[in-house]
A and B are shown apart, each in its own frame.
Chain A
Amino acid sequence: MKKYLAIFLLLIVGFYLIQAFNLVPFGENRIGNVEDESTVGAFYLKNTVPKTSVANVVTAIVVNYRGFDTLGEVTVLFLATTGLGSILFRKRKHGEEEERVLKESSQLVRIGSRLLFPFIALLGIYVFIHGHLTPGGGFQGGAIIATGFLLMLVAYKNYRLGHGTLTWVESFAGITFAGIGMWGLITGGTFLENNAFSGLGNVNDLISGGVIPIIYIAVGLKVAAELTGVLDILLNIKPNKN
């Protein structure tokens, strides 16, 4: 009975949503003429290359125009890791080895993972270094690297991650990001302003865009460290032994 009531309610919500979104047809040009700058979308498309020398407009939005959101998002990730640690905390008794519930994988998987891992990591690093030139960026690259770590964690029963290293990378990257923001404030501009470098370089060069690539690299490393940390915490739960 409850099931049908819920389905009915959901259908009503769905119908209502479709009605609301029907007013905005798919594919309709809502950002207007790029020259007019009438909406934010048009403004970004027109002004990103002249003002920031970054080719990837989405990167410019994420790191520069709406960099504050990205800072908040990086914080959310950081807090999720912290929250995970606080929810699953277990006082480590002396001599207790962290044992994982996974079985050891076959040799094929193990060797294959070890072969693949460096390439995956390389791909991830490539993606976030070139965030301002090609599709991708810090979050995407970080997630790719974390996938590599996941592969290793799943393949090897006793794969140890240096928790200290992860913490260092996380904190350092976070401080870089917030620090660049503060630098903008200290040097007389606004928070997160792109004024650290005198020249912004040419579009489509690797070194262009001022602080934007730097922030994205920091974000990429931070995301990789955090996602890996989350995976590690979740995989290291000792099974209940009563």
Chain B
Amino acid sequence: MVISPVHYIAVPLLAAFTIPLFAKIHKELTRIIPGIVLLYLAYVSYVLMSKVMTTGPIVEVIAGWHAPWGINLVYNGFSGFIASLMSIMGFLIWLYTYRFKKVDDEPALKFYILFLMMVAGSIGIVITGDVFNMFVFIEIVGITSYSLTAFYRGRDGAEASFKYLLIGSFASVFLLLGIMLLYTHVGTLNMAEIAQKMHTIPTSAKVSIFVMFAIALGIEAEMFPLNGWAPDAYSQAPGPIGAGFAGIVVKAGVYALIRIVFTLFDIEGAFQYLIVMGLITMIIAEVAAIRQTNLKRMLAYSSIGQMGVVLIGFGIGTTEAIFAAIFLMFNHAVIKGLLFMSGSFLVYNDDKKQIVSLSRFGKKLPIVSFLFALGAFAIVGFPPFAGFWSKLYLLLAAADKNMIFLIATILMVSVVEVVYYLRVVGKLYFGKEESTVEPKKPAFNSLIVMLILGGVIILVGVYPDVITGFIQNAADTLADKASYISNVLPSL
């Protein structure tokens, strides 16, 4: 059997259905099977990405019906890169969570199934070539996220989850309305065919449809003003899930939004819209981050701000800017993942997750604190860490188009980031007095994962060429709308 993109979805599904049966035999299996599946997905990524880099995009037909009569999956430079990133991050988070004590106290069986499907659903959003299919996967991600946010017994998880659910349902409604309207105008649900027929729609209708999609996907991508759900969800969810949201779920949301803007619609002003919304998101989120005393909420706001920067990058529209934006997505997944993971251990025993309780943790948890500091420096953009390159490329791309205002704002926001991240690092190493909170020593597997992420950050920082080949390919593929259409609909 040839490895093909549908494995990303079919294998996790099969595993999810069989895990309850395996649970009757041996409970431990419910923890292990998702890990094996995720490892397999990482392997699938390796195989498929190699294929894509050599022979070009893979379009897979489902159920034997070619596009547009059936659903098809599109695995090209861009979607493949993001899907691979998600599968690898998924595996790493699983490894980190294995035997994560707080998760073990609860019904662990359900956690791993939900997490596995959250990753699979996000990958589904990325590789599908059909708008309604995308909606179904968004709902899969939604349901798993709502359940995982409310996972812990004692905290306000249920409330954060409920809020998330309401806003998420709002997104679904608008997405459905948009799909409906789109279908009535073009008579198809296939992305490539929609792209082809887009010019036949009257402009007023186009704008309406775009607005609906933008609202719906903006909620998933945590764009302002639709991201009210994010800080609560990130901070109330278990630590590894926070990493999952930041590293995997939000990437899917941003991908969907970008796919809509770049491939489906040809509206004047869509790109400017991205820049403006990205700017607003970035500024408001970063400013809010300073005021946070809860470490996880701070990281959540920072995450939102980063997504704003990514949107700006995509909005600028040149291939260099897209390159920078995709690089940012990669860096954000890795670095934020590390920050959430290490942050989780730092505030493990503090119920309120306050930063002040981290005084002098540099001594008590040396490795974890060091990794957190590493992440903090990386995300702000200090060389020689990975974050430096993506910021640099973005600023260069903006300079290319003489967007001085953008450069100035991004730099100012970077300063803001330095302030609130260095505040935490400072507390870690130079805090006034010893904290009364007991630190929690990380388990071996968690430590390994964090070290791997840290290593990647340093590696990419020093030799960015390791990854730039993939990113360049991704950027080129995204910018090339015509070949997307011709790959999917070869007969036309």
| Any A–B CB pair closer than 8 Å | yes
Which residues of A sit under 8 angstroms from B320, Cβ to Cβ?
A: none
Would B114 and A171 count as touching, CB distance under 8 A?
A: no
Cα(A86)–Cα(B64), bound, Å:
37
Of the candidates B17, B21, B62, the one whose C-beta lies within 8 Å of that of A191 is B62
Q: Which residue of A lies closest to B17 (CB)?
A: A174
B4 CB-CB contact with A under 8 Å: yes
Known A-B contacts A192-B63, A194-B64; the reply to A83 vs B144 at CB < 8 A is yes
Would A78 and B17 count as touching, CB distance under 8 A?
A: yes
Selecting from B104-112, B224-232, B248-256, B472-480, the interface stretch reads B104-112
SS class of chain B's interface: helix, strand, loop or mixed?
A: helix
Cα(A68)–Cα(B4), bound, Å:
15
Of the candidates A19, A40, A83, the one whose C-beta lies within 8 Å of that of B146 is A83
A168 CB-CB contact with B under 8 Å: yes
- The total of chain A residues at the interface (CB under 8 A) is 58
Q: What is the distance, in angstroms, from A191's C-beta to the closest C-beta of chain B? A: 4
* Pair count A-B, CB < 8 A: 160
Would B70 and A65 count as touching, CB distance under 8 A?
A: yes
* 29 A-B residue pairs with CB within 8 Å: A23-B205, A39-B187, A41-B187, A65-B69, A66-B63, A66-B133, A67-B63, A69-B71, A69-B132, A71-B13, A72-B133, A72-B136, A72-B139, A79-B16, A80-B143, A83-B144, A86-B107, A89-B110, A167-B20, A170-B17, A171-B18, A174-B17, A175-B17, A178-B14, A190-B62, A190-B64, A191-B60, A191-B63, A192-B62
Besides the contacts A23-B202, A190-B63, what 14 more A-B pairs have beta carbons closer than 8 Å? A21-B181, A65-B70, A75-B117, A76-B143, A80-B143, A167-B20, A174-B17, A178-B17, A181-B10, A182-B10, A185-B6, A185-B10, A192-B62, A192-B64
Which residues of B sit under 8 angstroms from A112, Cβ to Cβ?
A: none
B39 CB-CB contact with A under 8 Å: no
B325 CB-CB contact with A under 8 Å: no
B84 CB-CB contact with A under 8 Å: no
Which residues of B sit under 8 angstroms from A192, Cβ to Cβ?
A: 62-64
Which residues of B sit under 8 angstroms from A164, Cβ to Cβ?
A: 24
Which residues of B sit under 8 angstroms from A72, Cβ to Cβ?
A: 124, 133, 136-137, 139-140
Of the candidates B16, B64, B107, B161, the one whose C-beta lies within 8 Å of that of A195 is B64
Which residues of B sit under 8 angstroms from A69, Cβ to Cβ?
A: 71, 132-133, 136
Q: Of A39, A191, A194, which is in contact with the most chain B CB atoms at under 10 Å from its CB?
A: A191
Q: Which residues of B contact A (CB under 8 A)?
A: 1, 4, 6, 9-10, 13-14, 16-18, 20-21, 24, 60-65, 68-71, 106-107, 110-111, 113-114, 117, 124, 132-133, 136-137, 139-140, 143-144, 146-147, 150-151, 158, 161, 177, 181, 184-185, 187-190, 202, 204-205, 208-209
A17 CB-CB contact with B under 8 Å: yes
Cα(A43)–Cα(B133), bound, Å:
19
Which residues of A sit under 8 angstroms from B106, Cβ to Cβ?
A: 86, 89
Known A-B contacts A82-B147, A178-B14; the reply to A40 vs B187 at CB < 8 A is yes
Please report which residues of chain A, range 147-197, place their CB below 8 angstroms from some CB of chain B when the two chains form the complex: 164, 167-168, 170-171, 174-175, 178-179, 181-182, 184-186, 189-195
Would A24 and B181 count as touching, CB distance under 8 A?
A: yes
Cα(A67)–Cα(B117), bound, Å:
18
Would B150 and A178 count as touching, CB distance under 8 A?
A: no
